[in-house]
Structures are given as C-alpha cells and as structure tokens.
Structure 1
Amino acid sequence: MKMGLKWLYFAGVSLGNVITPFKAREHVTEGTDVTLYCNYSGGTELYWYRQFLGSAPEFALYILESGMNRSADPPIPRLTAHIQKSLKRVALKISTAAVSDSAVYYCALRPTVEGNPAKAVQKHV
C-alpha cells in the first residue's frame, strides 16, 4: 500500500528581495517524484533547507542563477535543484519520494544558518 506524504515549505524576506513559495503544501504518493518551487526577486544565490519535526533546519543545497549548485556534505540522496531564470523560479526535485522525506522544506535568498551551509548549525537571531 502506498503511503501519502506531505511537505510544507515557507518563504522569507531578505534585504528588500522577496522569495515566495509557488504552493504552500504538496501531497504526493510514495515512490513518485515531487518538485517544490519558490519564486524570487533579487538575489543570485538560492538556498534550500529541510527541517524534520523537532529538529533544527539542515542545509540541503544552494543554486546560483547561473545554474551552478552545491549540495550538502554529504549530499542528501535524491534531491536536485534547477533554476528557471526567465521565470525567476527555483525548484527542488525529490526523486522517488519516501515517507522518510516528509519534512518542512524551505527556500531562502541567503544562508539562514551560521558558517558553512554544508556544515550547518542553527542561527540565533
């Protein structure tokens, strides 16, 4: 029996630049692919994070408007990003979704954690 999965993601505002989710929630069936989108204005680096219930956010990857990207170290399996520069939209694809992928996923225009995003710790504001 296939299990239903649920992702939530949200957006933030950074130095006059804005990033907004394309949709607030995604429900998918286990084993299918899902793509989460954020629209942005300003900024040239876009960051994706995920957060499991009761845990601090963790860096997943970032992508530049040029398309260059960098994953967490070690990379999170089955996560890829691409950017649609003409639409000012960034996408995070989760291939072959599993129940263990259920989390809050969010995008940002700047790092939301201190230090190297690949070695993320929560930023205290």
Structure 2
Amino acid sequence: QMCVEGSFAVLQLLLNIHSEQNVRQPTEDVMVVEGHPTTLTCLFDTTSPSPYLFWYKLANDKPIFMLRRDTFSPGETTTEFKDRFDAHLNVTGKSVPLTIQRLQLSDSAVYYCALRPTVTKVYSGPLQKL
C-alpha cells in the first residue's frame, strides 16, 4: 500500500531476516521517500573471522540474489542492482548495511540479509507484502 503526500510517493521497504546464524534487523518497516537514498541495516553475530554476507530481494515469494560481501574480495553485485544498490561489510561492527540510491516505486519490496547463501526455501513464516 503506497502513501502519497503531495508529490512525494512514500515507499515501505519491509525486511524479513532469515539465517541459520544470528542475523537481525533493528527496524522491520522503513518508510522512505521516492528519489531519495535510504539505508537498510543488517546486524549479524558469528564466530567466523571471515563471514560472507548476502542481501536478497523477494519477488513472487522467491529470492533474487542482489549482492555478496566478504573479507576476501570486493564482493559481487548482480547487474540488475549495480547501479543503485551497495553494501559495505563492517566486520568489527558486525553490520552490512544496504544502501539504495534514488529510490523508485519498484524498490518497494521485502529485503533480507543472510550469513549463508540461500538456494531453496528461504522463509518458513508468513511474509508481509505490499
């Protein structure tokens, strides 16, 4: 459901966090304004000194791989998301915030991060949809 105030369309980015290890999102619903940047925070807790973090976007209940960040390489971002999406892995602070530039209405979706790659079923509970 979109809220429109004047000429600004307000997007709601929903974050559902799923991982076999401890990954958490302080705020689940983020209200943002179209055309502006926003950052979605993901905090993680792992004993691994070299964690691999992944961001996904859900479309039709299926995960779309967005990007991977790790300590061994610059990481990987799929072509679809290279232009406006980025994330920086902070191993010391145990966070991997996702930054979205120039928000578009089509960005309104469920996003989540994980400590491991997701291949099969990704979320066992109900998903909140727009």
Out of 37, 41, 44, the residue aligned to residue 45 of structure 2 is: 41
Out of 97, 104, 110, the residue aligned to residue 98 of structure 1 is: 104
Structure 1 vs Structure 2 CA RMSD: 1.8
Which consecutive residues of structure 1, in runs of 5 or more, have no partner in the other structure? 114-122
TM-score by length of 2: 0.78
Report the Cα distance in structure 2 between the residues aligned to 1:108 and 1:34, rounded to whole angstroms.
Answer: 19
- Aligned 8 A contact 2:16 2:112 in 1: yes
Show the counterpart of 1:8.
14
- CA deviations 1:36-77 (Å, max 9, x no partner) are 01111115000000013x3411000010145621012x2413
* Letter of the structure 2 residue corresponding to residue 28 of structure 1: V
Which consecutive residues of structure 2, in runs of 5 or more, have no partner in the other structure? 1-6, 123-130
**Secondary structure, in 3 states, of the residue corresponding to 2:92?**
helix
Show the counterpart of 2:91.
85
Q: Which has the larger radius of gyration?
A: 2
- CA deviations 1:7-45 (Å, max 9, x no partner) are 11122232xx31101311111000110100111111500
* Letter of the structure 1 residue corresponding to residue 28 of structure 2: A
Name segments (4+ residues, structure 1) moved above 2 Å.
65-68
Q: Among the aligned pairs, what percent are the same residue?
A: 32
